[in-house]
Structure 1
Amino acid sequence: MIRRVTAPGPFPPPVHPHASVVEAGTRPAFLAGAVPPDADGALVDAGAPVRQAGRVLAGLEEQLRAAGSDPAHAVPTGAYVVADDPAVLAAVRDVVEASGPSAGPHASPLLGVACPGHPGRAVEITATAVVPDAAAGAR
């Protein structure tokens, strides 16, 4: 259903694919705004990117399931982290790469940004996922 492709040049292949090809017979779901609130909608771990990343990913998995998909069907994800310290970005990358939506070969940019959309948010993640047709799952 999803074929991940890594181009051999003009540079050495990274550990993640450069492109994902989605088979016909599926529908896309575009998810944005996975942010770190608690069950009551209050922001948690304000300004703490590594701690917020896990909560954001849990929320993203919930959004995927609500859309009729699951973490294995996330094609790309994009993480935006309020940080300019490479060590902080690397720590968030570790959390993201260990998550369901980003497991295995995965096109997943990670960007350090200067200013959050809302005060205290240190991480936001977007995703595009495949929503499989029931018939496609039966193939």
Structure 2
Amino acid sequence: MIIQRQNPPALHPTPGYHHVTIVDPGRTVYLAGQCPVDAGGAVVGGDDFLAQADQVVANTAAALAFARAGPADVVRTVVYVSSADQKVLSAVWHHLRDSAIGEAFTTASTLLGVAQLGFPGQLLELDVTAAL
């Protein structure tokens, strides 16, 4: 399987992700939205976006490993952050890019500020698609 990540010359430069990801035929892995929830079912990190991001990273890494995938196999990410503050969105993005799964964010990626997420106290969620 071949994964090609590209930026068409007619589109704006990106801060590290690629506009287009093309995958030759193979297995596709779709993760459920990964939340800042520990193995016991509790939302962790309180009102700290970056602490919640750390739990999301750990959960995503575990789910990818279970599927026999890693950050390099990710072909699409969508990051949902419960904030309209551009500085918060940027801080979360950079924190994720610098994390153990940072390579996952070099592919087709979207970062969204949203009004609310599913769990009480949840500040972010990560949607991931990988190709094997």
TM-score normalised according to structure 2 size: 0.88
Unaligned runs of 5+ in 1: 132-139
SS in 2 for 1:76: strand
SS in 2 for 1:78: strand
Letter in 2 for 1:114: A
Question: Is contact 2:43–2:119 with CA below 8 Å preserved after alignment?
Answer: no
Question: Is contact 2:18–2:107 with CA below 8 Å preserved after alignment?
Answer: yes
Question: Is contact 2:81–2:123 with CA below 8 Å preserved after alignment?
Answer: yes
Letter in 2 for 1:126: D
Aligned equivalent of 1:22: 23
CA distance in 1: counterparts of 2:93 and 2:19, whole angstroms: 17
CA distance in 1: counterparts of 2:106 and 2:119, whole angstroms: 31
Residue 100 of structure 1: how far off its partner (Å): 4.3
Aligned equivalent of 1:46: 46
CA distance in 2: counterparts of 1:101 and 1:2, whole angstroms: 17
Question: Is contact 1:77–1:101 with CA below 8 Å preserved after alignment?
Answer: no
Letter in 2 for 1:86: Q
Q: 54-63 or 94-103: which moved more?
A: 94-103
TM-score normalised according to structure 1 size: 0.84
Aligned equivalent of 1:96: 96
Aligned equivalent of 2:69: 69
Aligned equivalent of 1:134: none
Question: Is contact 2:73–2:130 with CA below 8 Å preserved after alignment?
Answer: yes
Q: Give the aligned CA root-mean-square deviation in angstroms.
A: 1.6
Aligned equivalent of 2:107: 106
Answer with 1 or 2: which has the greater Rg: 1
Residue 46 of structure 1: how far off its partner (Å): 2.7
Question: Identity of aligned pairs, percent?
Answer: 36
SS in 2 for 1:129: strand
Aligned equivalent of 1:118: 119
Q: Deviations over 1:4-31 (max 9, x none)?
A: 011111x43223211111122x200111
CA distance in 2: counterparts of 1:78 and 1:87, whole angstroms: 18
Unaligned runs of 5+ in 2: none
Aligned equivalent of 1:137: none
